[in-house]
Amino acid sequence: MAASSVLKWDPKSLEIRTRTVEKTLEPLVIQVTTLVNAKGVPGHLKGKSKRGPILVQTVERATADFVLKGEQIANANLEMRNELLTAVEGVRQTGDVMSVASKEFVNDPCTTAKRANMVRAARNLLSAVARLLILADEVDVRKLIKSLHLVEANLERFRNATSQQELVEQYQVFNSTVGDLTMKAALRQRELKDPRMRDDLASARAMLKKNSLMLLTASKAYVRHPELPEARENRDFVFKQVCEAVKSISNVARGERGVDGARFDNAGDLAALLDAFDVIIYNAIF
């Protein structure tokens, strides 16, 4: 069989950014790898293995679980419902194809063409599941970005306050949204695989917390003494620090790194696992 029959699946093109996506996908990769690597056992009819049907059922159950959970996430997030349901349908369809191809393979594991068909079906299934998981992860990203927009809007209202009472009132609203944002950012920080992006989020969260506390004091001083250049400069400096922290969180949420906005592109351990998958398939075919 030609080497072109071994289809490559590049996880980097799917932008797998978080540990949860990677870890959720990894068991299916292992299950499919085990199934593809199944060999006929001497002495059995047509080389069929007793483990084959069990492995097929395992992959079918895992696929069904992804479909069910994907539908639940879609129904709970109306803004992304159509996108998620489309991805769910992709998993369902590629899962059906994988089921047929894998059953044909385990019934005749010595036929190279059937193995190649299952490899193709397996790659398509893994890609479909990865897309679903990445979309599910995008739900959390959008919630974080919504929280960011709320902080930005409240920050602007706070900046435009003209009295001590209005400052206090607007600060209370602003501070409550900052608390929600920092909590979501902390969760995202733990999820991210890229250590530099985790560091960016940690730094931004610390800067936001520190300067948010200073912002009320600096703003009160400016409202009380708007004629003093020092009061304005101090207020503007703290305000700028808060804005930079918010922008940094926004950049990481959108998958950007550093001031140059370089896109996140790191498939980590999953890429190595899939490289091993390719080697196993290649060795099994040749």
Which is higher by pLDDT, 36 or 235?
235
Q: What angle do CA 6, 9, 14 make, to 5 degrees?
A: 170
Q: Which amino acid is at 283?
A: N
Is the pLDDT at 213 greater than 60? The verdict is yes
pTM for the model: 0.72
pLDDT in the model for residue 258: 54
DSSP 217-282: HHHHHHHH-TT-HHHHHHHHHHHHHHHHHHHHHHHHHTTEETTTTEEP---HHHHHHHHHHHHHHH
Nearest CA to 212 out of 185, 235, 181, 178 is that of 178
Tell me the average pLDDT of the chain: 81
Is the pLDDT at 247 greater than 50? The verdict is yes
For CA atoms 185, 187, 189, 192, the dihedral sign is negative
39-43, 152-156, 274-278 — most confident range:
152-156
**Percent of the chain having pLDDT more than 70?**
79
pLDDT in the model for residue 266: 39
